[in-house]
Structure 1
Amino acid sequence: MLKKDKGLLIVLSGPAGVGKGTVCNALRGVNDRISYSVSATTRSPREGEQEGVNYFYKTKEVFEEMIANDELLEWAKYVDNYYGTPLHYVKEQLREGQDIILEIEVQGAAKVKEKYPDGVFIFLAPPNLDELRKRIEGRGTEDSDLINQRMNVAKAEIEMMAQYDYVVENDQVDNAVSKVQTIIDAEHLRQERVIDYYRNLVEGSE
């Protein structure tokens, strides 16, 4: 398959509470070429979350078996829970020419970049740290100690944005989605993704 026909592996990551899930859901609403890679996790479901929709919820023992069997594209341990991306689904979607977006933690994104350096890596940033804390507190799912842990991790993660291709500030969801979609459109037009296709056209006409 020529690169022009292949799907893009898009990685969207950033601090907890920055709105990764909200932006991903809104993006899929305006771009039907994007598939969403459902992650596996050992954390408990939050109210309203569904198995196989938000996450695949695993026990610690099952998740560690998946690690041992090399069934994950990436995985990370974050605030005492495992998170990871099942590998088979990602490979299948890319082969079929479908763009696939991974909404993952910063640790996991670094591991994906080692295996898929030609992926598109986007860091979703908060407008400021006060707003980030407000969003985490607004979820009502963490106590003050856990919120402080998440804020400390967030500061370290923001320092890692230099590892990404793009940084999008999530000030308003619609604005962030529009910027991410612009990045995807531009990436599909990169010459290294399309040049083999056009070379083939030229050779076929001779």
Structure 2
Amino acid sequence: MLAGVRVVTAALFVGVLAGCNPGVTAGGDAKPSLPVQDKGAGQGAPGAPALPGLSTAAVARTQLAGLKVAGQQAMTGYSRAKFTHWTGQGDACDTREVVLERSGKDVKRDSECKAVSGTWVSVYDGVTVTDAAKLDIDHMVPLANAWRSGAGAWTAERRKEFANDLTRPQLLAVSAATNRSKGDQGPDEWQPPARAYWCTYATAWTNVKATYQLTVTEAEKAKLTEMLETCS
């Protein structure tokens, strides 16, 4: 009889515990499960670095709905040189080196602020890189795409800010191969090979275009909508 009481008591205790903490199950190991997060605010790939200024997917959807839809403008007058980069960021470092440092693990620099060692995860393809020379700093919204979306009318200072923006999800270190495969294409023309990163990619792209009030094409908006649907 006493044994039966003990069993019932134990069962009741586990039931109460599970009710107070959804991460604990009666048949589990009592370790709390990780909360389910909106991948729009996450990174979508193991080991991926956090992107500054990244919104939730819900915010990105609202931003996308408010973006002006228009055809691409002419490339007349375009030059990468009109988007001054990489600018100095203090301590002998430029924008590229700052992005490399924040995107990697155990990054060590030399006296000229060049990354001489470290480990990086290229979020576009999931490749782990240990040689900084094999990494490119990608502009989430490419300079040429920005030009076709309205940046052609900006001041030189505004283009410089855009090309060196460290406070928004505009700059990230990725494998040279994926960056060059992407080129200046929009989401409707190129998507990260790692599908798990689509949510973050679409969120970041939309955040940047909304911040800088750049336009999107019909095809671009449709693909961004599709990619945002991969978010939890």
- Do Structure 1 and Structure 2 share a fold, with TM-score over 0.5? no
Question: Which has the larger strand fraction?
Answer: 1
TM-score, structure 2 normalization: 0.25
Q: Which has the higher contact order (CA 8 A, sep 6+)?
A: 1
Question: Which has the larger helix fraction?
Answer: 1
TM-score, structure 1 normalization: 0.27
